[in-house]
Every structure is written in C-alpha cells, then in structure tokens.
C-alpha cells in the first residue's frame, strides 16, 4: 500500500472526487481526515473509509473560514503529531455568462475555490516544512487551463490554483514539500446533476474516449502524486481529461 501510515487531509471529501479520493487513500493505508461542510455526509464518509480498513476521522470545515481551517489542522497535528498530505479538493460552481454574472456568484466561487485553497495550504505549510517533507495537491481543472463558456469565476479560480501550485512548488520544494495540481476534465459527479442530458452528450462527444471520467480515475492520480512514487514530481499540473484537449 502506497500511503501506509500517512496522515492525509482531504477537503470537500463527502462526495464526488473528494469522497473517491478519501476512499482510495483509505485503501492505500492512509489515515484519512475527512473535511466537508455537511456533518452527516462527513460521518458517512468516515464510516466508508473505516469500512475500507483505514483509520479515519471527520471534521466539519468551511474552507472559507480561516478559524475553522486552523482549528482542524491543529486538532490533526495534536492527535497525530504530523501532517503528510493535503488534498485541496473543496470547490463549487456558480455559472453565468460575463454579462449576467452577479458579484455574489463571482465572490462565492473565488472564496471557496481560491481563498479556501490558500487557507488550507498556509495552515499546513509550517508543519510540513518543520517535518522536512509533505505533499500539497490542488484541484484545478481543464477550465483553469483553457477557459470555458459561462465560467468566468470558475476559470479564474482554477487558473489561480495553477498559479498557487507553481509558486508554492518553488517556495516549499527546497524544504522537502512537493506541490502539484490535478486538472480533471468532465467527470461524473453530483456537480453535473443540473446539466441537461443534451449538454452531457455534447460533453462526451468532445472527449476522444467518448465518455465522462469517473471520480475514481481522478482519485487514482491523487494517490500517485501523494505517494513516494511521485517523489520527483513537483510544480506539475497533470491533466486528466480523456484527451479532450488534444
């Protein structure tokens, strides 16, 4: 198992890619720290991780609230003495064309997808540097590389996450801390539930593999990057999209 005895924090871990990542890490031997804003969903995810044979604990955390992030990180450090991996997965969408997007829509997405990533990474950085090792993995998107119609706020946040990744890999790399990003394409998660079937069919047609990705396929990449097998991967943005941008 690639993550045996690793203390791994996953935000947005109660559904979708976050839950798949928590379960993958559990199967790889990690102690999984499940973070999400929904208490019942956190409890369910923790139970699923434990059923997979892992040690797991849950924290109700809103990543936009720095005091909640700091409290969670301190609790994890107090209990385990270290933090090995942070997966900055929490994210939201509030789509609209530029001319129709409200400030509230823009601010909400930037607050979760960008400020939340900053909060969590900054909260664990000192611990990882003191350890002389650690891994920070950030959720970007193909939208954060190529843009997308109706997603000014989301694209800006995911472009920003790439900027974070490149910068932190330079700052923290000399201290033994690797920072990488994953840029998923279209993945079948609850975030797509509001999209009409016609649009989903069009999305599939854009992918050479002619299907949407599964959350587990993104989780597999996170597990690789979190493991020692990726010990020389730093500052990378790994696109996992079925070749949709080829």
Task: Verify whether residue 154 is a known catalytic residue.
Answer: yes
pLDDT tens across 93-114, in order?
999 999 999 999 999 999 999 9
Residues 6 or more apart in contact with residue 53 via CB below 8 angstroms: 26, 27
The pLDDT, as a whole number, for residue 157 is: 98
Strand partners, 34: 10, 58
Prediction pTM value? 0.96
Residue 184 has pLDDT above 90, yes or no: yes
Evaluate whether 237 touches 162 at the Cβ level (below 8 Å).
yes
Q: Which residue of the set 146, 154, 222, 232 is catalytic?
A: 154
Residue 144 has pLDDT above 90, yes or no: yes
The pLDDT, as a whole number, for residue 161 is: 98
- The token pair at 105 is 């829509």
Q: Note the CATH number of domain 7-239.
A: 3.40.50.720
3-state secondary structure of 132: coil
Residue 193 has pLDDT above 80, yes or no: no
pLDDT, averaged across the chain: 96
Q: Where are the domains of the chain?
A: 7-239
Evaluate whether 181 touches 7 at the Cβ level (below 8 Å).
no
Residue 195 has pLDDT above 80, yes or no: no
Residue 238 has pLDDT above 90, yes or no: yes
pLDDT-derived band at 191, boundaries 50, 70, 90: confident
Rounded mean pLDDT of 66-71? Answer: 98
Evaluate whether 68 touches 43 at the Cβ level (below 8 Å).
no
Residue 194 has pLDDT above 80, yes or no: no
Residue 76 has pLDDT above 80, yes or no: yes
pLDDT tens across 227-236, in order?
999 999 999 9
């Amino acid at each position: 198992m690639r993550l045996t005895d690793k203390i791994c924090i996953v935000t947005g871990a109660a559904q979708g890619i976050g839950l798949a990542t928590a379960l993958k890490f559990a199967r790889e031997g990690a102690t999984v720290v499940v973070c999400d804003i929904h208490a019942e969903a956190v409890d369910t995810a923790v139970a699923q991780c434990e059923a997979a044979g892992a040690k797991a604990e849950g924290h109700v955390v809103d990543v936009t609230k720095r005091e909640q992030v700091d409290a969670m990180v301190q609790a994890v450090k107090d209990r385990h003495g270290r933090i090995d991996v942070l997966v900055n997965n929490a994210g939201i969408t509030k789509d609209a064309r530029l001319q129709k997007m409200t400030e509230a829509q823009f601010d909400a997405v930037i607050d979760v997808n960008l400020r939340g990533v900053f909060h969590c990474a900054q909260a664990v950085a000192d611990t990882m540097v003191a350890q002389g090792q650690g891994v920070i993995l950030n959720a970007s998107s193909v939208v954060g590389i190529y843009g997308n119609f109706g997603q000014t706020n989301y694209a800006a946040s995911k472009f920003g996450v790439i900027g974070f990744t490149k910068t932190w890999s330079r700052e923290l790399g000399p201290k033994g801390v690797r920072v990488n990003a994953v840029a998923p394409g279209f993945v079948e998660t609850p975030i797509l539930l509001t999209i009409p079937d016609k649009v989903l069919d069009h999305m599939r047609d854009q992918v050479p593999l002619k299907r949407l990705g599964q959350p587990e396929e993104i989780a597999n990449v996170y597990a690789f990057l979190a493991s020692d097998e990726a010990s020389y991967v730093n500052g990378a943005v790994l696109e996992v999209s079925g070749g949709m941008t080829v």
